[in-house]
Amino acid sequence: AAGLWTVFTLGGVGSKASAQLEQCSPLASQSLLLLLIFFYFFISDNTAFSSSNPHAFQINFNSLYTALCEQQKSDQATLLLYMLLHQNSNVRTYVLARTDIENLV
C-alpha cells in the first residue's frame, strides 16, 4: 500500500509540506480541507444556492490571495487555487489584475 501511495503522490511531491502544515496549524489544514469539500459539493450540485440569494457570503480576495501565496507548497492549497481560478470568474479576474502574481507562481 505504501508503494501505491508513493505512485499517487508522484514520489512524495507535496507530502512533506502537507505534513508540516498539519503540524504547525492543524486548524488551518482542516479548514482548507473543509473548503475543498464545500467547493466540490456546490460545483456538483447546482441547486445548493437558491436563485433569490446568489451571494451567500463574502470573501476578502486580498486575504485569500495572501494565504494561497504562503501555502503553495501544500497540495490542498494548490487544488483550491486551481478550482477557484477555473470555476470563479471573480477570483480569476482579481488574480490576473494583481501586479505581484510572481508570488503565486
Amino acid at 10: L
CA angle 88, 81, 66 (to 5 degrees): 105
Is residue 11 within a helix (H) or strand (E), and if so which, with residue range?
Answer: none
Specify the residue for cell string 437558491: 50
Intervals of the chain under pLDDT 70: 1-24, 43-57
- Cβ–Cβ < 8 Å for 80, 39: yes
pTM summary value: 0.62
Q: What backbone torsions phi and psi does residue 56 show, to the nearest 5 degrees?
A: -75, -30
pLDDT value for 87: 87
User: How is residue 39 written as a grid cell?
Assistant: 467547493
